[in-house]
């Protein structure tokens, strides 16, 4: 039986000078410890759904695997909060070459770009997607409308894998990096080609978010929030189109504006 992704709590709401008791639906947090070849690798704090996608996407993002076929056995004990991954390779992992041990839902490891594992796994976009301006806005609206968890709680980030005119899959999580890792895991599990895809995202485009997109292999990121300056530098280096503040009827294009298909 899966863990609940939301919980109901009694709260007091202040509105127009009055305090009333109400029921509120909240996103839950779930610690998942990932064991790789029998050794503890990391603990992810996440929304407890699509956990296989999350773990596989995270391991791929960290450079532990590149393809699903590198995993010999995968099991999850949701009641205890453990994921067990046995790799085809029995070579012992050097934990210091990868991530720190606990990654919280507050979104990040705060690393600088071009650490060893980033160089191995970040991909420069060789084929690129072009998109109409109206589709940028339509995809953002569709992603938000598809996320029932966000509609019910307001407490999660959303990410969607899209073609130039269609949302293919949407994932939500309390951690913005987790939402992207779930997309990555989905692509690996279902062998989805990503060279002609883009990511639509609810959070800001930080350098780490941009790196996640590059590791997945897409050539464009559209967000309803702002990018950071380092993320834009990296987008230029990695040939990724970046769009921010995609809201209502407008957005900003920060890199590769020539890929917009203006009528």
**CA distances, 11 to each of 29, 151, 190, 237 (Å):** 18, 18, 41, 48
Closest CA to 244 of 258, 254, 259: 254
Closest CA to 210 of 126, 118, 143: 118
Secondary element (H or E) of residue 232: helix 229-238
Instruction: Find out whether 32 and 59 touch, Cβ atoms under 8 Å.
Output: no
Within 88-240, strands assigned E span 102-103, 157-162, 167-173, 198-201, 220-223
107 annotated active-site: yes
Give 75's strand partners: 84
Catalytic, out of 107, 136, 162, 187: 107
Among residues 176, 184, 179, 254, the alpha carbon closest in space to that of 221 is found at 254
* Residue 142 and residue 222 in contact, taking contact as beta carbons nearer than 8 Å: no
- With contact defined as beta carbons under 8 Å apart, do 57 and 188 qualify? yes
Query: Catalytic positions, please?
Result: 107
């Amino acid at each position: 039986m899966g863990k609940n992704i939301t919980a109901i709590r009694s709260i007091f709401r202040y509105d127009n000078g009055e305090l009333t008791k109400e029921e509120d639906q909240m996103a839950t947090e779930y610690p998942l410890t990932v064991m790789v070849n029998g050794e503890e690798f990391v603990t992810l704090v996440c929304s407890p759904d699509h956990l296989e996608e999350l773990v596989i996407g995270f391991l791929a993002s960290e450079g532990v695997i590149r393809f699903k076929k590198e995993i010999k056995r995968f099991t999850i004990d949701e009641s205890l909060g453990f994921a067990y991954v046995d790799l085809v390779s029995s070579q012992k992992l050097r934990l210091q070459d990868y991530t720190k041990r606990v990654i919280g839902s507050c979104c990040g490891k705060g690393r600088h770009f071009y650490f060893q594992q980033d160089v191995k796994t970040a991909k420069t976009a060789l084929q690129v997607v072009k998109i109409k301006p109206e589709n940028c806005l339509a995809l953002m609206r569709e992603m938000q409308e598809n996320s029932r968890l966000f509609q019910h709680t307001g407490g999660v980030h959303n990410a969607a894998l899209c073609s130039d005119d269609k949302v293919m899959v949407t994932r939500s999580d309390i951690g913005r990096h987790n939402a992207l890792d779930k997309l990555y895991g989905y692509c690996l599990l279902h062998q989805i080609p990503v060279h002609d895809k883009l990511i639509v995202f609810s959070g800001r485009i930080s350098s780490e978010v941009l790196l996640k997109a590059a590791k997945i292999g897409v050539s464009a990121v559209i967000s309803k929030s702002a990018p950071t300056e380092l993320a834009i530098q990296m987008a230029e280096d990695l040939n990724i189109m970046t769009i921010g503040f995609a809201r209502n009827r407008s957005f900003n294009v920060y890199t590769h504006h020539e890929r917009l298909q203006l009528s």
